[in-house]
A = this chain, B = another copy of it.
Amino acid sequence: MRADALERRNTLIKAARAVFADRGHDAPLDAIAAHARVGIATLYRNFPSRDDLAHAVARTTLAEVRALAVRALDECVDQPEAAWRRFVDAVVELRMGALVPALVNSLDELPPDVRDMREQTKAAVTELIHRLQDFGLIREDVVPLEIIMGIAMLTRPHVLMFEDTTANLVPRLITVFLAGLRPDGSPLPPPIPPNAAVL
């Protein structure tokens, strides 16, 4: 594969993540090509179907989240609180909300490698959160998945909001949410069923 072609391919994946995040998983593919400043044909040559593109986004994003979790787990030894906050901020930055649809959409016919990556990421995040619960930094009655879903929902683009509003509001909402995750929070209703596995 030619070097410049590979670069374009990566640009497309990044663009797709951004556009999916901004305009939803059903955003027109043309918009993604335009965002990547690339011809539409280039997109189709690299990703024959929308799913191919979505899976590529899932692969890279999952890998990044996994790396973040592993690093946070490592940093936990010294300063668990800061590690946790850094992890969350990074995940927010990644706009996880954009990814969830690609993962849930067709859980069944997910390509094996994406499925694997998903399992690995899930394992890493789960371990991190359990560790933090052991440290007493996170209440015991929440499931890792719920935390991820909360972050995803709070970081989903509010299409119709002023841009600077989103930029300022989201970090504050995340902080409030994190505060609510601390062990002294009020009791929770029963947890979600197991088939809800998203990440």
| Binary flags per residue of A153-174, CB closer than 8 Å to B gives 1, else 0 | 1101011111011001101110
A172/B192 in contact, CB under 8 A = yes
A179/B186 in contact, CB under 8 A = yes
A161/B198 in contact, CB under 8 A = yes
This chain: copies in complex:
2
Count residues of A near B (Cβ-Cβ below 8 Å).
Answer: 47
B190/A168 in contact, CB under 8 A = yes
Question: Contact check: which of B161, B176, B195, B196 meets A181 at CB < 8 Å?
Answer: B176
B193/A164 in contact, CB under 8 A = yes
A176's closest neighbor in chain B, by CB?
Answer: B180
* A54-87 CB contacts (< 8 Å) to partner B: none
Give residues in A with beta carbon < 8 Å to B: 24-25, 100-101, 104-105, 142, 146, 149-150, 152-154, 156, 158-162, 164-165, 168-169, 171-173, 175-182, 184-193, 195-196, 198
B158/A175 in contact, CB under 8 A = no
B160/A104 in contact, CB under 8 A = yes
Closest Cβ–Cβ distance, residue A96 to chain B (whole Å): 12
B196/A162 in contact, CB under 8 A = yes
Closest Cβ–Cβ distance, residue A155 to chain B (whole Å): 9
Chain B residues with Cβ below 8 Å from A165 are 192-193, 195-196, 198
6 closest Cβ pairs, A-B complex: A180-B180, A179-B185, A179-B180, A176-B180, A165-B196, A168-B192
Separation of A198 and B154 alpha carbons in the complex (Å)? 16
Chain B residues with Cβ below 8 Å from A169 are 146, 149, 192, 196
Separation of A6 and B107 alpha carbons in the complex (Å)? 44
Chain B residues with Cβ below 8 Å from A100 are 158, 160-161
